[in-house]
Structure 1
Amino acid sequence: MLHHLVPNSLANKKTAVPLTDLPLDVVLHVLDRLDQPSLAALGRTSKALHDLCAPRLFADVALSSPKQLSSLLAALRANPERGETVKSLTERGLATNTDELQAALSLMPRLRALRFHSPVAGLDLAPLRALSALHLHDATRATLAVLPSVHADAPLRTLAVHCWPAALRSIVCPPPELAVALSAAATAHPSLRALEADAAVLADIPAGALPAALAVTAHGGSEEAAHVCSWCAPPGAAWEDRAAARPDKNAPLGVWARANVALCRWLLAVTGLSGGF
């Protein structure tokens, strides 16, 4: 049991007082400032503290491995009430089991923010009626195919899409279906206030197709684009925007080498392979 030291009014000494003996507002104040590992450790010390820590542990969930996804699903199935405490879910580039992820999402009716760092396809987001922020890994047909499944009554305010790879702009143009998917999502959700996507995709959206009140952030439209979006892939490839398909013979070799290495990193990431980069 963790203890809190308070001055002893009868002696000039320190007395160890159980955390659970403190006023509830003080305990909650302490819990709000603990990180996830500390909350997990504290929750194992007693049932009372477990009941206080559990909602905070599940409020902001980050998954970094398939095992974590399986553990989360098992915990939600064992206690469905925990799913109602999940407000934010972030998937950090793992080889996602779509069936398990779908099952977990269906147990999170109050989820507000959903972030994917891996390409995702075949998911149904209709159960997430409280969804207000959606961040997708990449601007591809398969990933954007999940947009129509967002419930029509969901208060979606932010839609961010991982950039169309800057290093590929001189080779492959974004499919026109991507612009159609984004404009359709903006029309279907009047609550939308912020849209982030690659400039190459946004350029295909006809003028006037987006609501006037929508704040649009275009990535990849300037030389500084590599630092605009932390999800941009790959960072060094923004140099590709400065020239045509063939690099300038006078350009420093290091610039193009960095762009090529960054492109390899991106390709390894989206294919699920690993490399020594």
Structure 2
Amino acid sequence: MSTVSVVVPSLNDAAMLRECLRCLAAQTRAPDEIIVVDNGSTDDTVAVARAAGARVVSEPRRGVLRATAAGFDTAVGEVIGRLDADSRPDPHWTARVAERFDTDPELAGLTGTGEFYGAGRFWRWVGGHVYLAGYFWFVRIMAGQQPVFGSNFALRQAVWERVRDRVHLDDPHVHDDLEITMTLDADMRVEYDAELHVGVSARPFQNVAGFKRRASWAFHDITLNLREIGWRERRRRRRTVLRARRRARSVVTDDGSRAKNR
């Protein structure tokens, strides 16, 4: 079975982090290591992480991509899971991640959506059906690839090593999930798994300025990456990979049929 590291960046989010780590402690398949990346916190983030038995990595340069990269760089697992401090993974989250990667050696990444808590029914519906559904739809078009969602995804360590030098670590105004999605190669298959359940805080809808900042960073990140590899070229590369996979499956099917007929 693949070893699984779980990375949780945190900036002044000790209360939320405590609950996230409690959920990780209750997993039916325990992570092989838990890494909390302290991104310059002034609260009890470090103390909470150490009390829960997590390994603490310090990344004083502010920025979620920098914090995520610091955790990924030190992770020892063959698969690296990524949660936010406000994520609440269900008890089977780590087991589901390990199972999917073990049964599919060609899987590069796995992601699920989020189920919002801490808001009324209307905002939970908006969060799931507009905010996150819109993110997955729009970014898939722009990237030519299934996007990962920062509060709920996992990558193979080998995939991170391949894209590590392409992500824009010098830019503090990028989202780590969007940045990683945009730098994946066309042959790096990411799958969406509806069974990968994680609760996420509805905080994005409680602050208009914060919501606008998230959106502006997203468009900045997409523009930054499309300048390097254009939208048409991304789509062309993806189509080439998909055609090659279909041909390979066809050959396997034909060989299998002939063997059966013999």
Name the TM-score, length of structure 1 as normaliser.
Answer: 0.24
Greater gyration radius: 1
- Larger relative contact order (CA 8 Å, sep ≥ 6): 2
- TM-score scaled by structure 2? 0.25
